[in-house]
Chains A and B, each alone.
Chain A
């Protein structure tokens, strides 16, 4: 198995340290952290899809807009999947997360409009 390439140029975990124990390699641990983060991005994209599905029931157009956001969110997580290397995480991090925060706020406002003015399905859970 190849260890994912470290994204940091310098100043990251100490390189050149011999491995004390199996699994103690800082690069390997960073690889696992990267993988957990990648999974977190995937879960976030799935959450958007779930929200899109719910909204689709209330308002088709709004639902489709939210579903169209899903691939964008997944694409934003590409940094954690190792296809972008050599770029400092701190440079590309803020913009991606800012986009997520703004998107969720916008989607919440859309849902607020749908909730207040949309046609409720009376007793769909009855």
Chain B
């Protein structure tokens, strides 16, 4: 499948016209929707955290770009997470309609990798500003 047709399959109009399988139990549809909303809030929380770091923290001594180094990736991740959450919702709904097993989600991996990366960057920034 080409990239453009993959993107077209994600548009809400295409998803709404999906008539494969049967309409799933509304409880499952609601659960899928709540999962999406929970990821959306996670994305918003990352944006708030990133903005808070850049705007509210005092600058790190000896690391002038330290706040931006920590905050900007968090905000960017928030944008990525929101979009991926929607694609995951589409995939889950597709599987629910057909009674297939739910696809493996990559979102926990993205989140864990980013938190690990941010922790490492934070430690480095703190060490440089304390010892440098």
Binding site for B on A (CB under 8 A): 6-8, 10-13, 29-30, 33-34, 36-37, 40-41, 43-44, 47-48, 50-51, 54-55, 57-58, 80, 88-95, 97-98, 100-101, 104-105, 107-109, 111-112, 114-116, 118, 120-126
- Can you list 28 A-B contacts (CB < 8 A)? A7-B26, A33-B31, A34-B26, A40-B37, A40-B38, A43-B37, A44-B37, A47-B45, A54-B51, A57-B56, A58-B51, A88-B23, A90-B97, A93-B33, A97-B33, A100-B86, A101-B85, A101-B86, A108-B76, A112-B72, A112-B75, A112-B76, A115-B51, A116-B68, A120-B67, A123-B57, A124-B55, A126-B58
Q: A47 near B55 (CB under 8 angstroms)?
A: no
Q: Which residues of A contact B71 (CB under 8 A)?
A: 115
Binding site for A on B (CB under 8 A): 11-13, 15-16, 18, 22-27, 29-31, 33-34, 36-38, 40-41, 43-45, 47-48, 50-52, 54-59, 67-68, 71-72, 75-76, 78-79, 82-83, 85-86, 89-90, 93, 97
Q: Looking at chain B's contact residues, is the secondary structure mostly helix, strand, loop, or mixed? A: helix
Across the interface, A124 reaches (CB within 8 A) one of B13, B56, B68, namely B56
Q: Which residues of B contact A54 (CB under 8 A)?
A: 48, 51-52, 55
